Structure 1
Amino acid sequence: MSSPRWLQKLHSLGLEFWLSLPLLGIAFWVGGGILTDKVLSRPYRTVDKLQADTQLEVQLSVTVLVIKAEIKKSEGFTRVQVKTTDSALKKLEFEFPVTDLSGVEAMIAQELKLSREDVRKLVRYQVKY
């Protein structure tokens, strides 16, 4: 019993192999889609969550060279520039909502963790009306 002639031609050209490739491709495509859906729809838990409502407090220990306080009486605030000897942190800038000298000194002393006497020695004022 011989096979039909068209089947012999198909076998001689190797089309049996080539015709099965699209079926394998479709099988991998469907299987990959199902696997991807399962992996991507799986819930996962994060251990560390981002907390945007907390503020970081940074402790710096720098040697202060000079403090320049620019008091803007009409605008109601004081802009303070602090120059340091630290190579990584050369200048600090602050804005305080006070314009009187004792209040500015107190806020600078609190922010830099210095005594008020040390602040008085280092600070240079410029008052703008």
Structure 2
Amino acid sequence: MPDLRPQVFLFFLPLLLVGIAFWAGGDFLTKQLLSLSYRTLDKLQANILPQVSLGLNFTLIDLKIEPEENLTQVQIQTANSMLKRLELEIPNSKFTEIAIAQKLGLYPQIKKLERNQQIQIKIPLSLIAIKAKIEKKQGFSLVEVRTANNALKKLNFMLPVTEVNMLEVMTAQLFNLSLEDVRKLIIYQVS
């Protein structure tokens, strides 16, 4: 009967060498990664939302009011500005349009919102997130802004730029924020 010990040894020796190489290489790679420095914020920033005061001047072209169980969903379509749509949530009421005007700070000057009505408002906002969908072929970007305000939940803008850095600059100018604040809030989708 032939002696199988040398063949078994030749079979397991390469496996042992590969295992030692993975162990040593993994240890080296781990030490290299852990030795890198990472940039961290100087201070803990929890629940700090950028506060802005946004002045808007637009023409109302459509108003959709959808009563639900606890709240009324309101979508306002606009024209003649970069702002294209506002979305509000207001408590259910018999006088929905007056409640909308109050939430937008228009009441008592404007008691009823009508089509082709020119509206000029200044709204304080707490920004949660900015989503920018860049439409390269069409040559514009759709910017959706989410807020933490009680009534005003979402604003949609159309900006005439497709470059990321220009979009950040225009967004910073629109909301009177620093570029750093915009970069913290914005996410991109390119199509």
Deviation, 1:59, is 2.4
More strand by share: 2
Question: Is the aligned partner of 1:80 residue 2:166?
Answer: no
TM-score under structure 1 length normalisation: 0.54
Question: Is the aligned partner of 1:93 residue 2:156?
Answer: yes
In structure 2, the gaps of 5 or more residues are 1-117
TM-score under structure 2 length normalisation: 0.37
User: After superposition, what is the alpha-carbon deviation per residue over 1:93-129, rounded to whole angstroms, capped at 9, x for unaligned?
Assistant: 100010001111111111112111100000000000x
Cα 1:58–1:111 change in 2 (3 A) is: farther
Partner of 2:103: none
Partner of 1:61: 124
In structure 1, the gaps of 5 or more residues are 1-54
> When the two structures are aligned, how many residues end up with a matched partner?
74
Counterpart secondary structure, 1:63: strand
More helix by share: 1
Higher CA-based Rg = 1
Partner of 2:68: none
How far apart, CA to CA, are the structure 2 residues paired with 1:119 and 1:71? 16
User: After superposition, what is the alpha-carbon deviation per residue over 1:37-81, rounded to whole angstroms, capped at 9, x for unaligned?
Assistant: xxxxxxxxxxxxxxxxxx765322211001000000000000000
Identity %: 47
Aligned-partner residue type, residue 110 of structure 1: Q
Flag as ranges the 4+ runs of structure 1 deviating above 6 A.
Answer: none
Aligned-partner residue type, residue 151 of structure 2: A
Partner of 2:185: 122
Question: Is the aligned partner of 1:105 residue 2:168?
Answer: yes
Q: Structure 1 stretch 110-119 or stretch 76-85: which is displaced more?
A: 110-119
How far apart, CA to CA, are the structure 2 residues paired with 1:82 and 1:94? 8
CA RMSD across the alignment: 1.3
